[in-house]
Amino acid sequence: MKTLKIEELSKNFGSTEVLRKINLEIDEGNFLVLLGPSGCGKSTLLNIIAGLETINEGNVHIDDYNVSKVEPKDRNIAMVFQSYALYPSMNVRENMIFGLKQAKVSKEKIEEQLEKVSKFLQVDALLERKPSQLSGGQRQRVAIGRALVREPRIFLFDEPLSNLDAKLRVEMRREIKKLHQQLKTTVVYVTHDQTEAMSLGTNIAIMNHGVIQQNDTPENIYNKPSNTFVADFIGSPSMNLIKGNLKESSNKVSFVTHGSNIEIPINGYDFKENYNLDNKEVFFGIRPEHIFFKKSNEEDFEINLRADLSEYIGHEQIMTFNFENQEVLAKFPSTVKIDLSKNTKLFFDLTQISLFDAKTEERI
Amino acid sequence: MQDKIHASYKQLEQKSKYTNMFLRWFLYFVLVVFAFYFIFPLYVMVVTSLKTMEEIRQGTLLTWPSGLNFDSWLVAWGGRGYGAGDTFLKPYFWNSIKMVVPAVFFSTFIGAMAGYVLTKWRFKGDKWVFLFLLFGCFIPYQAILLPMARTLGVLGISNSVIGLVLVHTVYGIPFTTLFFRNFYVSIPSELVKAARIDGAGFFKIFFKILLPVSTPIIVVTIIWQFTQIWNDFLFGSTFSFGEAAPIQVALNNMVLSSTSVKEYNVDMASAIIAGIPTLIVYVLAGKYFIRGLTSGAVKG
């Protein structure tokens, strides 16, 4: 039994297609992050799961029960909003029990739930305050509390941290992670921040133009991006995509860029399909953090590149190199001294590379 | 060289000081002139209403009254106590109250509901509905006098306070809807979403969540509607006469129908009485008016 199952879901606003044939499943207790640039449809998808938006095609199942036409309040879900959406005229207590009162839960049960949750989230001292008298972090906690008291099957979070300042955001991120570890409730979490997605999710679904590009564990998303969009979206700075061709001779595959005599051997790469590789146009993907200034393992490929630009950011520096007139970025500790406009010896860690078909932009 | 530059800076500094001082005093001067200009008619009204006819004939407009003599106020309010032809404001004042209270209440309430629907329960074509409502703000009142008179006749409520309540409610709705729509646009729709998930319905969300935060705009609407309806003369004089007339119509009749001598003191007292309720509303709620209007204007 899947806690949440979405089948062939499509959604249009007028003539604009917002979601296209979305399929998604979440197991009990998992933390799914919907990640993507703004306008990719992730918030719409969340609103559809909540029942706040209607569906054009497809179905949403919660616990194997088709809830596509069920009212939000009857879906056994709770939602935390970006603006917190605390009712301004009610104090914290009234805010937290509003839902239970609507559901006509008994007074004793309400008090019991309120006490349990407010203690757990450390807002028990704030119960009589109005939302306007709370700090950003406190509002966030109350908003989570309001969701928690209902003991929902699925928690929905809509960019809950993007209104907080950088420092508080990191703190609240840890708190949400702890919360999930303790409660083990199923979560669907929408964000455009890849660090949030990576650190919180047990699964990440990357979306673009209303389509899920890849739905996988954070490790696979990072190490084995399924297309160039994912490769480019995840990581900062993003993965270097070097254009060139594959060359196959006597069962040895190598990568060559146009007009260059440098051949990078591709050994032990896990090809999806192992035929027709010769002369294939590809992107050679390597992350900036997998380029080293000294040899890290036996598979490393040694190469001399000219350094063009250096960006110092404290704990590290981002160097831009020229590789046959294509930019290649590398990330080094800031203690390493590299001269600009001179050739520098670099090592590509070939165990960490990705290859993409230049036409379909899919991983090969 | 250095000294020269310093000297010229000093000069410039002096110059800008004098310019600023001059501009400031000029500003005060203009403000004082306008303040006098606006307060002057009120001064004449109050002073005249406190004089006897004898004093009015002998002195000028500006002369101070001999004492606090409220006789003309009593006459304006309660009449002289003889039968036919004695017009006084008291019954018409209550007519106006009976008209203005329900009309303000209904138009405000309906406007709030409409603003709520147009912002938080969007439907297909809602923009058109809003556009047509806006037209209502721009239609000149004179244009609808005849159709409205016919409508009131068909409904059987012409020449009654109820008829005036209906007219003013209908004519208030475009303005009140505009006010509330612009206010509710600035309230995050996530509040409504959260309440829906919490299980609140259409009316519960309106009464429990939106209405409690609407005080500023409610006050603005009440002031606006109260002033409009209380001061209205056109609808009052067209759709009512005699017993059912509101105070502005009565004031007009009173001033125009004086038999022999023009009783300026009574006329002035009547005019002030007719204006007092709106003044009271402004004094009590004026600060909300400015605040509410600007908050709506900036965010809407």
Taking only the tens place, the pLDDT of each residue in A300-309 is: 899 999 999 9
Shared-domain flag, residues B203 and B247: yes
| A275-290 as b/e: b if 16+ CB within 10 A | eebeebebbbbbbbbb
The span from the CA of A32 to the CA of A188, in Å, is: 5
- Distance, in Å, from the CA atom of B119 to the CA atom of B178, rounded to the nearest integer, reads 11
Question: How many other C-beta atoms can be found within 10 angstroms of the C-beta atom of residue A364?
Answer: 19
The reply to whether B206 and B283 lie within a common domain is yes
In this structure, the answer to whether residues B98 and B209 fall within a common structural domain is yes
> Quick check: B197 contacting A, CB < 8 Å?
yes
pLDDT given for residue B119 in this prediction: 95
B84-105 per-position pLDDT tens digit? 566 788 889 999 999 999 999 9
- Which residue range is the domain that position B68 belongs to? 2-78
Query: Is A102 in Cβ contact with B213 (below 8 Å)?
Result: no
Residue of A43, A82, A89 best to disrupt the B interface, most CBs of B under 10 A = A89
Q: What is the pLDDT of residue A261?
A: 81
pLDDT for the residue numbered B297: 40
- CATH number of the structural domain spanning residue B246: 1.10.3720.10
- Confidence band for B79, pLDDT divided at 50, 70 and 90: confident
What band does B299 get if pLDDT is binned at 50, 70 and 90? very low
- The amino acid occupying position A217 is T
Q: And the tokens for B51?
A: 């004089």
Task: Count up the domains in chain B and report the number.
Answer: 2
Is there a contact between B198 and A98 if contact means CB atoms under 8 Å apart? yes
Average pLDDT, chain B: 88
**Listed residues B78, B109, B140: the one ending a domain:** B78
Q: Does residue B195 sit at the A interface (CB-CB below 8 Å)?
A: yes
Task: With cut-offs at 50, 70 and 90, classify the pLDDT of residue B296.
Answer: very low
- State whether residue A149 is helix, strand or coil: coil
Q: Are residues B58 and B21 in the same domain?
A: yes
Query: B209 to chain A: which residues are within 8 Å by CB?
Result: 87, 89
**B125/B123 Cα distance (integer angstroms):** 6
List, in order of start, the domains of chain A with CATH numbers.
Answer: 4-233 (3.40.50.300), 240-357 (2.40.50.140)
* Domain-embedded: residue B71: yes
Cα of A18 vs its chain's centroid, Å: 19
Question: Which residue from A minimizes the CA distance to B209?
Answer: A87
Residues B65 and B185 in one domain: no
Distance from CA of B75 to the nearest CA of A (A): 49
Contacts of B196 in chain A (CB under 8 A): 52, 71-73
Per-residue pLDDT of B115-132, as tens digits, reads: 999 999 989 899 999 999
Length of chain A: 364
Output b/e per residue, B89-124; b: 16+ Cβ within 10 A. beebbebbebbbebbbebbbbbbbbbbbbbbbeeee
Contacts of A163 (CB under 8 A, 6+ apart): A82, A83, A84, A136
Q: Does B190 touch chain A (CB under 8 A)?
A: yes
Name which of A363, A325, A328 is nearest A348 in CA terms: A328
Which 8-state DSSP code applies to residue B64?
P
Q: Is the pLDDT of residue B300 over 50?
A: no
If you write DSSP's letter for every residue of A172-202 in order, what string do you get? HHHHHHHHHHHH--EEEEEES-HHHHHHH-S
| Domain contains B20 | yes
The alpha carbon dihedral of B123, B124, B130, B132 has a sign of: negative
Tell me which chain A residues have a C-beta less than 8 angstroms from the C-beta of B124: none
Q: Looking at the structure, tell me whether residues B167 and B281 fall in a common domain.
A: yes
Whether residues B44 and B159 fall in one domain: no
Q: Whole-angstrom Cα distance, residue B138 to residue B131? A: 11
pLDDT at residue B68, rounded to an integer: 82
pLDDT of residue B298: 39
Name the residue type at position A214: Q
**Count of pairs with CB atoms under 8 A, one residue in A, one in B:** 56
Q: Which amino acid is residue B256, in one-letter code?
A: L
pLDDT of residue A187: 95
Q: Are residues B49 and B152 both part of a single domain?
A: no
B300, two tokens: 């809407």
**Are the C-beta atoms of residues A215 and A204 closer than 8 Å to each other?**
yes
CB contact under 8 Å between B197 and A89, yes or no, is no
A70 in contact with B, Cβ within 8 Å: no
For residue B85, being part of any structural domain is answered with: no
Closest Cα in chain A, distance from residue B187 (Å): 10
My answer on whether B288 and B262 are in the same domain is yes
* Contact residues, chain B, for A88 at CB < 8 Å: 191, 212-213
The answer to whether B197 contacts A50, with C-beta atoms less than 8 Å apart, is: yes
- B126 part of a folded domain: yes
B122 interfacial to chain A (CB closer than 8 Å): no
- Whether residues A73 and B195 touch (CB distance < 8 A) is answered with no
**pLDDT at position A208, please?**
94
Residue B103 placed within a domain: yes
Q: Are residues B71 and B99 in the same domain?
A: no
Nearest to A52 among B196, B208, B212 (CB): B196
The alpha-carbon gap from A102 to the nearest alpha carbon of chain B, in Å, equals 6
Establish if B83 belongs to a structural domain. Answer: no
**B152 in the same domain as B268:** yes
The ranges of chain A with pLDDT < 50 are none
Query: Do the Cβ atoms of A47 and B193 come within 8 Å?
Result: yes
Shared domain for B229 and B290, answered yes or no, is: yes
Task: Nearest chain B residue to A143 by CA: give it.
Answer: B194
Task: Report CB contact under 8 Å: B199, A73.
Answer: yes
* Beta-carbon contacts of residue B298 (< 8 Å; ≥ 6 apart): none
Give pLDDT, residue A212: 95
Q: Given B55, B78, B101, which residue is the final one in a domain?
A: B78
pLDDT at res. B162: 92
| Residues of B in Cβ contact (< 8 Å) with A81 | 190, 193-194
Residue B68 C-alpha from the chain's centroid: 30
d(C-alpha A91, C-alpha A123), whole Å: 12
The amino acid that residue B275 corresponds to is G
Q: Is B196 on the interface with A (CB under 8 A)?
A: yes
Residue in A52, A102, A158 closest to B198 by CB: A102
- Which regions of chain A does DSSP assign to beta strands (E)? 4-13, 16-26, 31-35, 57-62, 65-66, 77-80, 154-158, 186-191, 203-208, 211-216, 240-249, 252-256, 263-266, 281-286, 291-292, 301-312, 316-323, 326-333, 343-348, 354-357
In this prediction, residue B292 carries a pLDDT of 60
Whole-model pTM: value is 0.83
Per-residue pLDDT tens digits for B215-236: 889 998 999 999 999 999 999 9
Which of B78, B100, B131 lies at the terminal end of a domain, its last residue?
Answer: B78
